[in-house]
């Protein structure tokens, strides 16, 4: 394994750039569309497609359960999936700080390769830049993705109405706590790992089998509470959720209480919120539970008429409280 460090000349566009791309990126990610190393990938499409882009600046680069490479792939795949698209192609752009060790970059590229191939997507174009030491923090990644729309019906907040059910596909807050513990060097004793995962294998088959899913969103930054607020505001409805139905692992709940953090506002990277027509909610829940990523899925609440554009939490004590949108991120650079 190479042990040298990335130099500014690796981003110059010259021989070092060429060698790095050929010996690392093309070697790992090789496919017929990427192989010509053109400035643009040529892809044939006749159907409606979804296109998404995202940047990843997570600190630290490696954390329990994942790393910035896996996160970059899964994050973009999930943005396509919740739009009702089957992910197919990715672009990959690196901004690397001078002095980053080559073996760290190689480890992240290996993670990107393994993750993308395991979910049937190809990296078909990209970019590589090096900046002076101190101009960025080790490594930033941008990924863009293209997917083919396969949903039987459009997924739009405009179709959400009172009576629809809110489904959460699994346990919350694991990513946020895993990154927090690693960044701060906290030994909480709970062995909490990020939930970072691509959701296309979970959700795409359900979209093909049913037509009752009205909208989907992955609750990343700001957590479940902020995402629910975004949905309520965009749809002009209220949302009522039941605290006792929110799936959360006991160790995550204990760690959140210990740190004084509300898990409803912590980031997730392998979960989705589904708004489903009442008549089909039971079937969708059953299909989710058949997949390992959906085994803890639950119906956590309903869309209601009032109070409009607000989210109300019905607590286990029988009281109610308004869940506001997150004002400021409790843990920046979470993804």
pLDDT digits (tens, 9 = 90+) for 210-241: 999 999 999 999 999 999 999 999 999 999 99
Per-residue pLDDT tens for 156-205? 999 999 999 999 999 999 999 999 999 999 888 889 999 999 999 999 99
Per-residue pLDDT tens for 31-82? 999 998 888 888 888 889 999 999 999 999 999 999 999 999 999 999 999 9
139-149: strand order across its sheet: 49-56, 139-149, 85-97, 122-131
Q: Which of 149, 183, 215 is the last residue of a domain?
A: 149
Per-residue pLDDT tens for 113-166? 999 999 999 999 999 999 999 999 999 999 999 999 998 888 999 999 999 999
> Which residue in the block uniquely carries the two structure tokens 């993670």?
111
Residue 329 lies in a domain: no
> Which residue in the block uniquely carries the two structure tokens 């980053």?
100
Residue 332 lies in a domain: no
Pairing of strands 213-217, 139-149: unpaired
Residue 161 and residue 129 in one domain: no
CA distance 72 to 55: 8
pLDDT of residue 88: 96
Pairing of strands 238-242, 62-63: unpaired
Phi and psi dihedrals of 222, rounded to 5? 90, -15
In this prediction the pTM is 0.94
Residue 194 lies in a domain: yes
pLDDT of residue 325: 87
Residue 223, domain extent: 157-323
Residue 181 and residue 60 in one domain: no
Look at residue 1 and tell me whether its pLDDT is greater than 80.
no
CA distance 213 to 277: 6
Residue 274 DSSP SS3: strand
Question: Domain total for the chain?
Answer: 2
Residue 249 DSSP SS3: coil
Contact 238, 166 (CB under 8 A): no
> Which residue in the block uniquely carries the two structure tokens 């990296």?
123
pLDDT of residue 328: 72
- Residue 101 maps to which CATH number? 3.30.1330.10
């Amino acid at each position: 394994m190479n042990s040298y460090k990335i130099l500014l000349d690796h981003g110059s566009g010259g021989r070092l750039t060429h060698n790095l791309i050929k010996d690392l990126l093309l070697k790992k990610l090789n496919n017929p569309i990427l192989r010509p190393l053109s400035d643009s990938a040529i892809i044939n499409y006749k159907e409606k497609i979804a296109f998404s882009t995202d940047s990843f600046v997570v600190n630290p680069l490696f954390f329990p359960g994942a790393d910035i490479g896996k996160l970059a792939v899964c994050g973009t795949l999930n943005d396509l999936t919740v739009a009702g698209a089957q992910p197919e192609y990715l672009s990959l752009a690196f901004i690397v700080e001078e002095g980053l060790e080559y073996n760290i970059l190689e480890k992240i590229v290996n993670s990107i390769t393994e993750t993308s191939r395991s979910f049937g997507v190809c990296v078909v174009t990209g970019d590589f830049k090096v900046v002076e030491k101190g101009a960025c923090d080790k490594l930033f990644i941008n990924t863009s993705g293209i997917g083919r729309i396969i949903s039987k019906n459009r997924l739009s907040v405009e179709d959400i109405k009172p009576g629809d059910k809110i489904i959460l596909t699994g346990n919350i807050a694991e990513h946020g706590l895993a990154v927090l513990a690693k960044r701060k060097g906290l030994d909480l004793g709970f062995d909490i790992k990020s939930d970072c995962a691509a959701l296309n294998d979970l959700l795409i088959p359900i979209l093909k089998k049913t037509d009752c899913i009205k909208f989907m969103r992955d609750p990343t930054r700001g957590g479940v509470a902020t995402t629910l607020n975004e949905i309520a505001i965009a749809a002009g409805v209220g949302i009522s959720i039941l605290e006792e139905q929110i799936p959360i692992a006991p160790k995550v709940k204990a760690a959140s209480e210990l740190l004084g953090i509300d898990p409803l506002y912590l980031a997730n990277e392998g979960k989705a919120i589904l708004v489903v027509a009442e008549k089909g909610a039971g079937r969708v829940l059953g299909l989710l539970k058949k997949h390992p990523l959906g085994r803890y899925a639950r119906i956590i609440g309903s869309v209601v008429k009032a109070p409009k554009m607000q989210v109300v939490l019905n607590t286990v004590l029988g009281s109610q409280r308004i869940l506001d949108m997150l004002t400021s991120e409790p843990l920046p650079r979470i993804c």
